Structure 1
Amino acid sequence: MTVAVALLTTALVIVIALLAAAGAGKLARLDGATYPAALTRATTAFAAVITLAAAVAGALAALFA
């Protein structure tokens, strides 16, 4: 895998994580949560997406190694 593909994949994962976090924060605010609570939910969603991407990457790396 070239460096360019790795960087593009990383950027795509970060963009998807940011979109998931923004959606979670917006839904939390629509549900009536305070700004700190909505930020906490958004942060949790961002961390979950990044963790899931790392787990999938690790599984694929072990599969192809």
Structure 2
Amino acid sequence: MRREPAVIVAVVLLTTALVVVIALLAAVGAAVLARLDGATYPTALMQAATTFAAVITLAAAMTAALTAVCT
């Protein structure tokens, strides 16, 4: 079944927004945990950035795997 291009664009944008929100929440959680553990602000920020990058990388890898399976 062929879908409208506007529907595909909307799904891609909403999925991307959801992944970014989840990555930001994970990064904030990592920063809070680092601060509670006694880390300095720059160290907590680095931990948050690492977590954000890891979540985005994981989402990209899952997208590539699902694309390979579904096509």
1:32 aligns with 2:38: yes
| Offset at residue 25 of structure 1 (A) | 0.2
- 2: CA distance between counterparts of 1:26 and 1:19? 11
TM-score by structure 1 length? 0.97
Gaps of 5+ in 2: 1-6
Pairing partner for 1:10 from 5, 8, 16 = 16
| Offset at residue 39 of structure 1 (A) | 0.3
Within 5 Å, which residues of 2 pair with 1:23-62? 23-62=29-68
User: Is the radius of gyration larger for structure 1 or structure 2?
Assistant: 2
TM-score by structure 2 length? 0.89
- 1: CA distance between counterparts of 2:18 and 2:53? 15
Alignment: residue pair count: 65
